[in-house]
A and B are shown apart, each in its own frame.
Chain A
């Protein structure tokens, strides 16, 4: 569909990032009262089927939030523990980008040169240059030239509904071919229902249902969970047993708590001249970390990352226009004013996306829904999430600065949106890493404190969220943990 005129319509349903709208075979319902409802893609490849492929490491300070800013917690690891793995996963994912950003520690060069920033990146960068603010060409897991199993990007801009050119990194291209060649077996259509334990409290494998609802059991010596911060928490809670009555690995009571999502606002910058801004890639063209760190003069701690993106075709332009004018009444966007979106916005605008570092809070949490179930009869994930006062102030401040950046770029107008009610696919924190079993779920090697042969390797282990798009860190950390597991295999406890 992404190569057809219907491309934009794919968002309406089949490729809608909200599982409650899409209702795909592998999806489970998300219930609850959340200011920001998580989005995700369930199926082989997970979110990396649908992601925008923006590649960003955490800041060095993100690992030391407690020490530096006196709030939240420090990670039990630091940037240096991930450095080599960041470089390796960037190669595995054929990342295109430019090293040398002074806001980040030094890194190995990316395997591919950056994608040209194009007209929208140039206009945005000139604004930042005038203001003396930080910006850098965006790194993306999109190949700017043939690399590994990826072809060169053709700028179709349909990245989030599937790349028809095989230019965007996604596990079916970057990982599964070699993993399967090495002998791994992929069981599709499997819905894990429980991680059972033996009498000594070691996990024994995974119980799952196939597409026809038939029960199976896959024995394992070690289980690694990567169902994302919502799905993993759900599965651990589903795996409650007499030995673990509050859920597997949950003696701390923290499984499901501290959900972080990077609440998101946008400022769409409308310019006088045509910018052909329906063209892709729909990764980050440029980004800014100018306001990503704590500053003593501000009325909030921590910060936000900004990134420039194209705005898609005319349907998206109309939706953006309508959303920004939602409080101005019917006349403002429909009837005689309908065509203004196409006249003024379509092809002439780009968007500054602003993602905030939300701090971990116990009450932002995933639990099991008491009544609603998925199509297999398993409880849905119930999500409660409030945007904190600190985050709201942070977003207000950053949006005001982004409007200034737009003006410095020569904008004729801006379309400002409030906090998006659906998330941006960043779900973090519900099985946090730490040294103390009373205040964390997994240790520094992401092994459950309570269960010696159970690991979590998704974004649930994040102690704080930073403001960076999380996948580079999720992957680097998964590699770090797996390397260690292999090295230390002689001492790994396994079921009897």
Chain B
């Protein structure tokens, strides 16, 4: 991550903004409770360093009160800035091991495929052949 990283005040603001976007759901924790403004944010910014500067200036700009209205204003009037905020929050949220466990996502794990057995779609392909007129001749 570039520079000195987010300050505690900026992290706190991010938590509050993040919960407007990703509040607690039926079985799902709110963004702030899984630490989107802590280690997950650092990991996110390592992966997307160019977003650090626009994100931090957005956090500095956020008002002390009325964060809900601020986020909605960004969404409707400033799509670029809203994209920076929402991509950060969603990206950091789904890095959380707890969130991944809850939605049943193991990550992009290896899972060898097997081509040994005959595929079971061959009867469907036979029907493709039966009904297809053949390719368009053009010579």
Residue ranges of A at the interface with B (Cβ–Cβ < 8 Å): 1-3, 5-10, 12-14, 23, 59-61, 63-64, 67-68, 78, 80, 96, 100, 102-105, 112-117, 121-122, 125-126, 129, 132, 134-137, 144-145, 152-158, 165, 274, 278-280, 293, 313-315, 318-319, 330, 334-336, 338-339, 342, 346-347
How many angstroms between the C-alpha atoms of A155 and B72 in the bound complex? 39
- In chain A, what residue has the closest Cβ to B109? A156
Residues on B with C-beta less than 8 A from A145 are 115
Residues on B with C-beta less than 8 A from A9 are 44, 47-48, 91, 95
Cβ contact within 8 Å between A156 and B108: yes
Contact of A5 among B87, B95, B113 (CB under 8 A): B95
Cβ contact within 8 Å between A279 and B72: no
How many angstroms between the C-alpha atoms of A67 and B139 in the bound complex? 10
Contact of B108 among A100, A157, A338 (CB under 8 A): A157
Contacts known (A1-B47, A9-B44, A129-B124); A315 close to B90, Cβ less than 8 A: yes
- In chain A, what residue has the closest Cβ to B128? A134
Contacts known (A67-B138, A136-B125, A137-B119); A13 close to B110, Cβ less than 8 A: no
Contact of A313 among B21, B49, B107, B114 (CB under 8 A): B107
Q: How far is the CB of B109 from chain A (nearest CB, A)?
A: 7
Q: How far is the CB of A370 from chain B (nearest CB, A)?
A: 25
Residues on A with C-beta less than 8 A from B108 are 2-3, 7-8, 156-158, 278, 280, 313
Cβ contact within 8 Å between A279 and B114: no
Residues on B with C-beta less than 8 A from A154 are 110-113
Contact of A155 among B75, B110, B139 (CB under 8 A): B110
Residues on A with C-beta less than 8 A from B26 are 339
Contact of A346 among B43, B103, B125, B139 (CB under 8 A): B103
Q: How far is the CB of B14 from chain A (nearest CB, A)?
A: 15
Residues on B with C-beta less than 8 A from A278 are 105, 108
Cβ contact within 8 Å between B121 and A122: yes
Let me know if B3 is at the binding interface, CB within 8 A. Answer: no
Cβ contact within 8 Å between A126 and B134: no
Q: How far is the CB of A355 from chain B (nearest CB, A)?
A: 19
How many angstroms between the C-alpha atoms of A318 and B124 in the bound complex? 33
Contacts known (A59-B136, A129-B127, A334-B75); A347 close to B105, Cβ less than 8 A: yes
- A–B pairs, 28, beta carbons within 8 Å: A6-B43, A9-B44, A9-B95, A10-B47, A12-B51, A23-B50, A60-B138, A63-B138, A102-B129, A103-B132, A104-B135, A113-B115, A114-B115, A115-B113, A115-B115, A122-B121, A132-B127, A134-B132, A144-B115, A156-B111, A274-B104, A293-B136, A314-B94, A318-B94, A319-B90, A334-B71, A336-B25, A346-B105
- In chain A, what residue has the closest Cβ to B27? A339
The 6 closest A-B pairs by CB, nearest first: A339-B25, A154-B110, A9-B47, A102-B132, A64-B138, A12-B48
Contacts known (A60-B138, A122-B121, A125-B124); A338 close to B114, Cβ less than 8 A: no
Interface size of B in residues (CB-CB distance below 8 Å): 54
Residues on A with C-beta less than 8 A from B91 are 8-9, 12, 315
How many angstroms between the C-alpha atoms of A129 and B128 in the bound complex? 8
Cβ contact within 8 Å between B138 and A68: yes
- In chain B, what residue has the closest Cβ to A12? B48
Let me know if B1 is at the binding interface, CB within 8 A. Answer: no
How many angstroms between the C-alpha atoms of A346 and B109 in the bound complex? 16
How many angstroms between the C-alpha atoms of A88 and B93 in the bound complex? 46
Cβ contact within 8 Å between B112 and A155: yes
Cβ contact within 8 Å between A61 and B134: no
Cβ contact within 8 Å between B115 and A338: no
How many angstroms between the C-alpha atoms of A315 and B87 in the bound complex? 9
How many angstroms between the C-alpha atoms of A23 and B137 in the bound complex? 45
Q: How far is the CB of A113 from chain B (nearest CB, A)?
A: 5
How many angstroms between the C-alpha atoms of A157 and B108 in the bound complex? 6
How many angstroms between the C-alpha atoms of A192 and B39 in the bound complex? 43
How many angstroms between the C-alpha atoms of A156 and B107 in the bound complex? 9
Residues on B with C-beta less than 8 A from A155 are 110-113
Cβ contact within 8 Å between A68 and B136: yes
With A68-B136, A125-B124, A347-B103 known, 6 other A-B pairs at CB within 8 A are A2-B108, A157-B108, A278-B108, A330-B72, A335-B20, A335-B23
How many angstroms between the C-alpha atoms of A187 and B108 in the bound complex? 34
Residues on B with C-beta less than 8 A from A80 are 139
- In chain B, what residue has the closest Cβ to A341? B90
Cβ contact within 8 Å between A347 and B21: no
What are the interface flags for B74-93 relative to A under an 8 Å C-beta threshold, 1 for contact and 0 otherwise? 01100000000011001100
Q: How far is the CB of A318 from chain B (nearest CB, A)?
A: 5
Q: How far is the CB of B119 from chain A (nearest CB, A)?
A: 7
Q: How far is the CB of B48 from chain A (nearest CB, A)?
A: 4
Cβ contact within 8 Å between A152 and B112: yes
A1, A126, A279: most-surrounded residue (chain B CB, <10 A):
A279
How many angstroms between the C-alpha atoms of A102 and B130 in the bound complex? 10
Residues on A with C-beta less than 8 A from B28 are 339, 342
Let me know if B58 is at the binding interface, CB within 8 A. Answer: no
Q: How far is the CB of B45 from chain A (nearest CB, A)?
A: 10
How many angstroms between the C-alpha atoms of A144 and B134 in the bound complex? 28
Residues on B with C-beta less than 8 A from A102 are 128-129, 132, 134-135
Cβ contact within 8 Å between A8 and B129: no
How many angstroms between the C-alpha atoms of A80 and B138 in the bound complex? 11
How many angstroms between the C-alpha atoms of A254 and B107 in the bound complex? 48
Cβ contact within 8 Å between A347 and B104: yes
Cβ contact within 8 Å between A330 and B76: yes
Residues on A with C-beta less than 8 A from B99 are 314
Cβ contact within 8 Å between B111 and A279: yes
